[in-house]
């Protein structure tokens, strides 16, 4: 398998500039992360997948992919089976992922998709992480990996990559290294991605549709506004004022989601 992956990596470099199409390899990572940095009981674990194609890749929570499929299936079922001429959608059947951000990567762009309340935004990563390469190695899933450290916004990121798979890709926005990233984490341990498996997978790779275009500064400011004024944000989004007895709960819920990898 290891030999085959090296050959696939070589082919991916050859075809990278060609037309977008399906993935040829899928990397599954175990994502471990805190929802609330002040509460260790909010530690979550989810499998996330990096689908790599000839000229693009997509990074997304496995659970979110399944949840999206379930939601679309439920909406399709509702349209095909209306009640008194009305399509009844049952959102209580939908499940939600805890790891929300998705990343689409191609030769020309690096796009992050993330949510604020019920709206999904996309923004282009304008400044790529600059890596400092260290003289340290370790084995991950049988591959010899090298260590690199970089800054992503205000976070220090540590990655372990292998030159045995010469694909310049990795989880989240941690790309542009001499090989595939098999492990990545921030210096505070709030986020940690560890490779679980590599396998051949043929699935479509395409950017998300129906999202709101923005840039990182605007996205970050919008998120901060909601954190600082949860009730005002609720009113602006839903056009109504929530009951006063719900204010404290809503404020606590919104402010308890405070750990962002960016």
Query: What was the pLDDT predicted at 101?
Result: 95
pLDDT at residue number 120: 94
Q: What is the average pLDDT across 210-238?
A: 92
> What pLDDT score was predicted for residue 12?
43
Please state the length of the chain: 262
| Domain spans of the chain, in order of start | 2-214
The pLDDT assigned to 75 comes to 52
Cα dihedral 164, 168, 169, 174 sign:
positive
What's this model's pTM, rounded to 2 decimal places? 0.81
pLDDT exceeds cutoff 60 at 13: no
**pLDDT tens digits, residue range 118-156?**
899 999 999 889 999 999 999 999 999 999 999 999 899
> Token pair 């901060």 is at which residue?
224
Contact call for residues 187 and 158 (beta carbons, < 8 A):
yes
Q: 2-214 sits in which CATH class?
A: mainly beta
191 Cβ contact list (under 8 Å, min separation 6): 31, 32, 33, 34, 185, 259, 261
Residue 23 scores a pLDDT above 60: yes
Q: What average pLDDT does range 187-197 have in this prediction?
A: 96
Tell me: pLDDT of 256 over 70: yes
At residue 10, the pLDDT reads 42
pLDDT of residue 96: 67
Residues 46, 256: Cα–Cα separation, whole Å: 19
Q: What does the block give as tokens for 79?
A: 């349209």
% of the chain with per-residue pLDDT over 90: 65
Least confident of 13-22, 105-114, 189-198, 240-249: 13-22
What's the pLDDT tens digit per position in 147-187? 999 999 989 999 999 999 999 999 999 999 999 999 999 99
What average pLDDT does the segment 186-209 reach? 94
Q: Which two tokens stand for residue 212?
A: 């709101």
Average pLDDT, the chain: 85
Q: Encode pLDDT of 55-101 as tens digits.
A: 899 999 998 766 665 555 555 566 566 666 665 555 555 556 789 99
């Amino acid at each position: 398998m290891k030999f085959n992956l090296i050959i696939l990596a070589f082919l991916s470099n050859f075809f990278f500039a060609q037309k977008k199409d399906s993935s040829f390899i899928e990397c599954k990572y175990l994502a471990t992360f805190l929802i609330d940095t002040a509460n260790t009981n909010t530690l979550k674990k989810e499998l996330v997948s990096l689908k790599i194609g000839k000229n693009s890749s997509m990074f997304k929570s496995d659970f979110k992919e399944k949840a999206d499929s379930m939601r679309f299936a439920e909406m399709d079922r509702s349209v095909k089976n209306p009640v008194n001429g009305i399509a009844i959608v049952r959102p209580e059947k939908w499940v939600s992922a805890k790891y929300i951000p998705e990343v689409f990567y191609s030769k020309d762009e690096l796009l992050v998709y993330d949510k604020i309340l019920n709206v999904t935004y996309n923004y282009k990563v304008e400044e790529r992480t600059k890596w400092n390469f260290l003289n340290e190695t370790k084995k991950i899933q049988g591959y010899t990996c090298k260590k690199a450290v970089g800054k992503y916004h205000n976070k220090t990121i540590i990655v372990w990559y292998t030159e045995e798979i010469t694909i310049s890709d990795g989880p989240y926005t941690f790309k542009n290294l001499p090989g595939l990233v098999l492990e990545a984490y921030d210096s505070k341990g709030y986020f940690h991605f560890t490779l679980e498996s590599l396998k051949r997978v043929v699935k479509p790779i395409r950017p998300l549709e129906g999202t709101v275009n923005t840039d990182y500064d605007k996205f970050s400011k919008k998120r901060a506004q909601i954190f600082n004024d949860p009730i005002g944000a609720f009113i602006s989004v839903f056009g109504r004022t929530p009951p006063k007895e719900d204010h404290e709960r809503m404020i606590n819920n919104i402010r308890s989601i405070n750990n962002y990898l960016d």
